[in-house]
Every structure is written in structure tokens, then in C-alpha cells.
Chains A and B, each alone.
Chain A
């Protein structure tokens, strides 16, 4: 397992270093331009999660996946190492970017807003969704999986907007979002913050586990 992570780090060290530094500079600058912490957290999480994922698509580009499967490891270990490394890289980069944003002058919100428990949980939830949905597709289908995900997301977004605009089936999606938000707030109020937050963390862990098992299911069926 550690050998696999070490291998990926050795083979991608140049890529990670160059793009990691670029991300730090770019996201640091962006952090000083955006007015709301939640927006910058969404963008930062998206960008930070992208780095390990692009690293894996490089492997697909060079058809180097066959190397992993000819090494003395199981496919389960390969998938697990990819999940661990993705999370570690995303979190490390996220913390670094947040540090740069906090240090750079010109920021339009307080530092405390970036590091509050709510913000951290929001960032983690977003990472869970993002990595949980994309990793199985990228591990199984490589770059094509990533593109397919982005296209489906675009189509879904356009369809959602159209549905909302033309009130298809008497459905106002903005009203639905309000209902969901109200439901969550009610749940929060009735459970209390500690239980609600713990539940959220458990949900994130379960989602990641489900994603991992799905990725294994797909990867074990991959022919090289």
C-alpha cells in the first residue's frame, strides 16, 4: 500500500509541485477577490480535488495503468491507495490554500469564517461528494470518465434550469431547494449541533465507503 502511494508520488512529483504551486498562487489571489467564504471554499475544494484526479488521468494518457496491475499488489490495494492519496493531497492542498488566503492582504471576509467548524464540515462534505463521485469513474474509465462526469453534470444543470424556468410538472426546483434547506435546519435544531455534525461526518464516511466499494467493483472488471 505504502509502496503504491510512494510510487505515485515519485512519478508525479514534478507535476504535483508545479501545479500545486500554481494552484496556491491562483487560489490565494482568488481568495482575496471573492466576497463570501462559502464561494471560495467551493472553488478551492473543486480545484484541490482536481489535482490528484488529473494526476490519475495522466496515467491513463500514457496507458501506464498496466504497470500497476503487473506489480505485486492486488487491485483492492491499488484502489485503496488511490483513495487515500486523493484525500491526503486534496486536504493538504486545501489547508495550504486556506493558509495563503489567510495570510494575503485584501481579503473581504474574516479569517475566523474560513476555519469555523461549519465551514470545515462544508468543505469536507463537498470533497466527499466530489471525490466520491469522480474517483470510481476515473479509475475505471480514465480521462473519458472525467469528461463523461462533467458532461452529465452540465446536462443535468441545463435540464434543472429548464425545468425550473418552465415549471415542468408544476415543479419549482428553487422551492424544492428551500424545502430541503428548511428540513435540514429543522433537523439541526431538533438534534442539536454535536449530534447533527456527527451525523454529517458519519454520512460522509459512509458515502466514501460506498464510493470505494463501487470503484473496486468497477476496477476489478477493468481489462488492460
Chain B
């Protein structure tokens, strides 16, 4: 399967934060959800793909093209939604559209009109008059209207009402009927990921913890509950995170079969949600 996006050992250093050795592959025809706590590096990864910030090392390829050496070609194939919409604010939406559309050979005016109508976008209004949700919808309409092969969306569902959020996610899935296309989106809303994403990439403190198909996560990652007596140095090694009380322990594992082999009937094992994985990996309230 061809990759729409490949990141190989990408790094970026800031004062107090470093994105280290980020590698991931997004095959065409799939949706990848980028998830992680605040400040984990999700937006940095997206900005690096778009060359909005300079990478310190590594390689980024979009449909096989280097994202810096073939910048214009690469960006012509990307539809981008920024987490905070930034346009000159005292300009009407129709003028913003008129300014942006000529950059794209594949601009589909009929599709834009249809999306604007569907999203209820007031094209005669100035951008500053819109709510955050409407600004996001406008950005989404622009990103979808040039029939991009790769959609990159940074927190696209933030500020959207649940009904539109659901519609957007369904629309994203619909886009992938064309198997040459792919979508990368970051979100805090883990239910969005579970509903839509084929691959989930979890970033924590500037590192990729995992980048796996959703089904693999479902099969391998679990929440283990049991009495404290079962905790030994050996069994602890099976856990990615552990929370302990006087009544027993709750732990996260990325290897359910191994836990079952080691602890068997002494514990209860449930499938871990993305939220469980985030909470346990973050470790802020885990006590080992």
C-alpha cells in the first residue's frame, strides 16, 4: 500500500520541549488520529509536515515527495485546517475565498458553494463576525473544496457542536471512498478517534508512544484489575501504568495475552479506551 505521508526520525527542539525521533506512516485510504495530552507535540508534528516550522532533523515525505524540496507541489495536495483559524479578520468570507481559490488547480467552486450552504456560512459577513465554530467550518469548507489528497486537521472538532462534529466525522470517512486520499487529524476528543480513525498515533512528551491500527490497540491494550498480592517485580513489568489503592490495583498493559498467561484467573482484564491509555501513560495520578 502506498503511503500518503511518511515521517522518519523527525525532530524539533524548543527551549523546554523537544520532539524526538518521530516516525510514522499514513497509508493512502486511511484516517490517522493524532492524540496526546496538551503540549505533547501534536501541533508541532502538523506544523513540521506543512513546513510552518523548520525541522532540526529527519525526513518528511508526502506522496513520496520531500515536503521542503517540493514544497509547492506537496501543499497543492494538502487541505489544512489550523486549530486556531488565522485570517485577516476584517475581510468578508467571499473575499477570503476569492483570494485563496486561485492557488488550487483543482478548486471546486460548486463544492464550496454547496458546503457553504450546508454549513450555514454567511459569505457576505466579515471573518471577525463569526463564532469560533463558524470560523472552523469556514476553514473546513476551504480545505475540502480543492479536493486535496491529504487532509491535515489540527483539532478540527474543537468548538463544534456535537451534531456537526458527527457530520464532519462521517464526511471525513466518506472522503476515503477514494482510496488515494488520506486524513491526519489531531484531537483531544478520544471518542472522535474511536469513531473514525483507522490508525491511532499517541504522542507523549514529544515522542511517539505508539502508532497502531485501532484494531491492534483493541486487541493488545487492556485495563487489568486485581488484588495487590499479585503484584511482583515480574508482573509489574507487564504494565505501562499502575494505580494502586488499599483495595487492589488497576493497571494498563499493551500485551493482554501476556497478562492472561502470567496472572490468569486472578485478574479482570477489560479493553482499554484511548482515554484510559492517555490517562495511564501520562502518569500524573498513577502510583506505582
A residues with a Cβ closer than 8 A to B are: 3, 6-7, 10-14, 58-59, 62-67, 69-75, 77, 220-221, 223-224
Contact = CB atoms under 8 A, between A and B. Distances in A.
B54 A223 contact: yes
A71 B82 CA distance: 12
Contacts of A77: 72
Interface in B74-110: 74-76, 78, 80, 82, 86-91, 95-96, 98-100, 102-104
Interface string B225-236: 000000000000
Contacts of A14: 90-91
B88 A74 contact: no
B256 to A, nearest CB: 41
Contacts of A6: 99, 102
A70 to B, nearest CB: 5
A11 B53 contact: no
Given A62-B89, A73-B103, 12 more contacts: A3-B103, A6-B99, A6-B102, A10-B99, A66-B52, A69-B51, A70-B50, A70-B82, A71-B75, A73-B71, A224-B47, A224-B53
Contacts of B53: 223-224
B270 interface: no
A70 B99 contact: no
B99 to A, nearest CB: 4
Interface residues of B, number: 29
B88 A58 contact: yes
Contacts of A62: 86-89
A220 B72 CA distance: 14
B44 to A, nearest CB: 10
Nearest to B84: A63
A66 B83 CA distance: 12
B216 interface: no
Closest 8 CB pairs of A and B: A72-B76, A72-B75, A7-B99, A223-B53, A10-B99, A224-B52, A63-B86, A3-B102
A74 B72 contact: yes
B73 interface: yes
Contacts of B47: 223-224
Contact of B52 (A3, A10, A70): A70
Nearest to A59: B88
10 contacts: A6-B99, A10-B91, A10-B99, A11-B99, A12-B88, A59-B88, A62-B87, A70-B75, A71-B100, A73-B103
A223 to B, nearest CB: 4
A19 B95 CA distance: 19
A3 B104 CA distance: 10
Contacts of B50: 69-70
A72 B54 contact: no
A73 B104 CA distance: 10
B89 to A, nearest CB: 5
A74 B71 contact: yes
A74 B87 CA distance: 19
A62 B72 CA distance: 24
A3 to B, nearest CB: 5
Contacts of B74: 72
B86 A64 contact: yes
Given A3-B102, A224-B47, A70 B88 contact: no
Nearest to A221: B54
Nearest to A12: B88
B91 to A, nearest CB: 5
Contacts of B91: 10-11, 14
A96 to B, nearest CB: 24
Given A3-B102, A69-B50, A224-B53, A11 B88 contact: yes
Nearest to A220: B54
Given A11-B99, A72-B75, A223 B52 contact: yes
A71 B86 contact: no
B95 A11 contact: yes
Contacts of B100: 7, 67, 71
Contact of B73 (A3, A11, A72, A75): A72
Interface hub of A3, A10, A220 (most chain B Cβ within 10 A): A10
